[in-house]
Amino acid sequence: MRSRSKKKAWKDLNALQRAGVVVMGGAQIALFVAAQKDISQRSDAEIQGNRWAWRAACLINFVGPVSYFLFGRRPNKR
């Protein structure tokens, strides 16, 4: 029977893996901040659903902010 693979510590990662972790972490934070800023700047009429529900959903890694940008904003009527 195989044991589950042990999580690697930061010191066990090579330079490319460390760079990947940093880049993905930065992207996640940038998406979160962008979504929160967008939610703050829009009126209730421009957001589909509850503003606070979208704020909470944005706490879910990648999925929350991307879902907000895809489904949470009403299209601009210009």
Q: Taking a C-beta distance cutoff of 8 angstroms, is the pair 68, 39 a contact?
A: yes
Position 2 pLDDT exceeds 70: no
Q: Residue 39's closest CA among 64, 62, 72?
A: 72
pLDDT in tens, 10-54: 999 999 999 999 999 999 999 999 999 999 999 999 999 999 999
Q: What is the pLDDT of residue 38?
A: 96
Three-state SS at 47? strand
Tell me what the mean pLDDT of segment 72-78 comes to. Answer: 79
Which pair of tokens denotes residue 78? Answer: 């210009």
The Cβ-side half-sphere exposure at 46, using a 13 Å CA radius, reads 10
Position 63 pLDDT exceeds 90: yes
Query: Going by C-beta distance under 8 Å and a sequence separation of 6 or more, which residues neighbour residue 60?
Result: none
Q: What is the pLDDT of residue 77?
A: 64
